[in-house]
């Protein structure tokens, strides 16, 4: 079996992820529609908005509950999975985990200040790198294939890089208004459609 990468590891290890019969499947059934339609997710709590193609021939969104008061500041998790892949995966739960798109929203921890000379007055890029290096279970920063490039996502400074493994990962790490947002798209050569969807999702991101 392939190793289960960032998303599944994090959600299982950190928050217990899905209780399938009582949480995931009801949510998935409610999110699945017969046509592929653009679905916009907008959350005032996380100051985040993005759009994805929802439906039977599109993708299904799961929002697992996040316990309050986690030490790493995790606030919200969104998981997107190709609906057909998800249905096949549920037929054989011991099979390989399909590639997913994940979005993590976390509070930037004040505990990072004072480490390696980081202060509140440090440059935003230095804060981003310090966070990514510290919280690799979300960022996969230790698996990057090259130094990250600095880009803008809805005007916000962003670290962008790729990782290698059983699944390649396309990662964007953003800091905005005291929060860190991690967008992670997993893909392989034979699963490139999900990477295309991820790029379109990234293009739809708005910070409110």
Residue (of 96, 64, 98) closest to 78 by Cα position: 64
- What is the predicted pLDDT for the residue at 28? 47
Retrieve residue 174's tokens.
């953003």
- What is the predicted pLDDT for the residue at 53? 97
Task: Please state, as a whole number, how many other Cβ atoms lie within 10 Å of the Cβ of residue 118.
Answer: 17
Provide CB contacts within 8 A for 16, sequence distance 6+.
none
Per-domain residue ranges of the chain: 6-207
Give the torsion sign (CA, 174, 179, 180, 185): negative
- What is the predicted pLDDT for the residue at 96? 81
Name the CATH superfamily, with its identifier, for domain 6-207. Answer: Mog1/PsbP, alpha/beta/alpha sandwich (3.40.1000.10)
Retrieve residue 112's tokens.
């990072």
Task: Please state, as a whole number, how many other Cβ atoms lie within 10 Å of the Cβ of residue 11.
Answer: 21
Q: Dump pLDDT digits (tens) for 3-59.
A: 444 444 444 333 333 333 334 444 444 544 457 999 999 999 999 999 999 999 999
Low-confidence ranges of the chain (pLDDT < 50): 1-29, 31-33
3-state secondary structure of 181: strand
> How far apart, in whole angstroms, are the C-alpha atoms of residue 101 and residue 195?
8
- What is the predicted pLDDT for the residue at 34? 57
């Amino acid at each position: 079996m392939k190793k289960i990468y960032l998303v599944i590891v994090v959600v299982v290890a950190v928050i217990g992820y899905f209780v399938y019969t009582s949480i995931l499947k009801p949510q998935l059934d409610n999110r699945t529609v017969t046509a592929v339609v653009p679905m916009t997710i907008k959350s005032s709590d996380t100051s985040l908005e993005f759009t994805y193609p929802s439906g039977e021939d599109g993708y299904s969104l799961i929002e697992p509950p996040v316990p309050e008061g986690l030490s790493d500041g995790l606030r919200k998790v969104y998981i997107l999975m190709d609906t057909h892949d998800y249905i096949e995966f549920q037929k054989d739960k011991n099979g390989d985990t399909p590639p997913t798109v994940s979005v993590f929203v976390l509070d930037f921890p004040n505990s990072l200040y004072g480490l390696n000379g980081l202060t509140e007055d440090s440059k935003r890029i230095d804060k981003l790198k310090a966070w990514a290096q510290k919280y690799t279970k979300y960022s996969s920063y230790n698996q990057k294939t090259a130094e990250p490039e600095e880009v803008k996502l809805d005007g916000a400074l962003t670290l962008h890089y790729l990782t290698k493994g059983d699944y390649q990962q396309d990662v964007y790490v953003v800091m905005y208004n005291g929060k860190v947002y991690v967008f992670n798209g997993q893909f392989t050569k034979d699963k490139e459609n999900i990477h295309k969807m991820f790029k379109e999702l990234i293009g739809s991101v708005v910070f409110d």
